[in-house]
């Protein structure tokens, strides 16, 4: 009787090569745990990033740390806990240079290579300041990243409003903008909103330019259209709607 379980040496070698190829490309638990293959990474003692929330992408025992806006930070972690398959956007908290992952746990071994990432800073002496002179330049610096992110802390002071986004201080100079009256009181603290013009009708504004953008300062933390200065592109130029 023919033995159907016998295979040729050629077939054995093919299976062996497939197995080795899989290990080289995807690793096994042991391989992933023992090494970081990219030699451009250097082992470091701690994660030199500001304390806060980050994201982790990876598989097995390894993951990369990204900013909340999914920018590469250059840090790769070799964890003590592994997973099957891939995991993206895993919540990571960093405190005193130690990462804590919901998926991979706390700590591990840390590797770093310079990818040009500059972490946001709250030190005013290190902050880059970008000023948009709106009456002359139109509305600038309202980026897709800003629109897609959560509102950020802001201030209204004299003829400016603005705030810090991703480590950069953005200011909009409102002098000369239609509808703006210089604010002469104490500086106001609140929240900055940015959006596309299709949202303007919700704010009681019906002359927004098609495909335009707007940026608003809101006095206080609770959403209230009656405490907002809304700078927007109208069908007749840049305007600002001030609180009544």
Rounded to whole angstroms, the maximal C-alpha distance in the chain is 100
**Within 13 Å of residue 197, how many CA atoms lie on the same side as its CB?**
17
Q: How far is CA 37 from CA 22, 61, 62, 72, 162, in A?
A: 15, 13, 11, 18, 44
Question: For 110-116, what is the mean pLDDT?
Answer: 92
As to burial, measured by CB atoms within 10 angstroms (0-12 exposed, 13-18 middle, 19+ buried), residue 143 is middle
pTM above 0.85, yes or no: no
Please report the pLDDT score of residue 26 as a whole number.
45
Give the pairing of strands 42-44 and 105-106: unpaired
The answer on pLDDT for 25 being more than 50 is: no
Alpha helices (H) in 150-232, listed in sequence order: none
Name the residue among 166, 184, 86 with its Cα closest to residue 118: 166
Least confident of 8-17, 20-29, 148-157, 215-224: 20-29
Question: For 63-75, what is the mean pLDDT?
Answer: 91
Q: Other CB atoms closer than 10 Å to residue 25's CB: what's the count? A: 7
Least confident of 116-120, 151-155, 185-189: 116-120
The SS3 call for residue 68 is coil
The answer on pLDDT for 160 being more than 90 is: yes
Question: In whole numbers, what is the pLDDT of the chain averaged over residues?
Answer: 84
Q: 204-227: b or e for each residue (b if 16 or more CB lie within 10 Å)?
A: ebeebbeebbbbbbbbeeeeeeee
Please report the pLDDT score of residue 91 as a whole number.
93
Please report the pLDDT score of residue 125 as a whole number.
55
- Residue 230 pairs in a beta bridge with 216, 241
- Segment of 24-28, 179-183, 204-208, 218-222 carrying the highest mean pLDDT: 204-208
Q: How far is CA 140 from CA 25, 179, 235, in A?
A: 45, 18, 17
Please report the pLDDT score of residue 24 as a whole number.
47
Q: How far apart are CA 154 and CA 139, in angstroms?
A: 17
Torsion angles phi and psi, residue 178, rounded to 5: -55, 125
């Amino acid at each position: 009787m023919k033995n159907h379980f016998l295979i040729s040496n050629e077939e054995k070698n093919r299976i062996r090569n497939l197995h080795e190829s899989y290990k080289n490309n995807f690793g096994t638990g042991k391989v992933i745990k023992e090494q970081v293959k990219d030699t451009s990474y250097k082992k470091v003692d701690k994660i030199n990033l500001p304390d806060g929330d980050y994201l982790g992408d990876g598989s097995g025992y390894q993951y990369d740390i990204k900013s909340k806006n999914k920018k590469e930070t250059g840090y790769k972690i070799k964890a003590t806990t592994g997973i099957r398959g891939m995991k993206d956007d895993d919540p990571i908290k960093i405190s005193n240079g130690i990462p804590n992952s919901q998926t991979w746990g706390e700590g591990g071994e840390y590797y770093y290579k310079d990818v040009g990432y500059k972490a946001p800073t709250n030190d005013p002496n290190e902050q880059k300041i970008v000023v948009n002179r709106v009456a002359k330049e139109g509305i600038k610096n309202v980026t897709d990243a800003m629109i897609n992110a959560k509102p950020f802390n802001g201030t209204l002071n004299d003829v400016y409003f603005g705030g810090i986004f991703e480590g950069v201080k953005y200011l909009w100079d409102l002098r000369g903008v239609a509808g703006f009256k210089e604010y002469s009181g104490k500086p106001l603290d609140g929240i900055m909103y940015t959006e596309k013009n299709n949202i303007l009708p919700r704010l009681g504004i019906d002359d927004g330019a098609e495909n335009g953008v707007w940026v608003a300062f809101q006095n206080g933390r609770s959403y209230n259209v009656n405490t907002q200065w809304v700078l927007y592109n109208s069908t007749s130029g840049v305007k600002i709607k001030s609180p009544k």
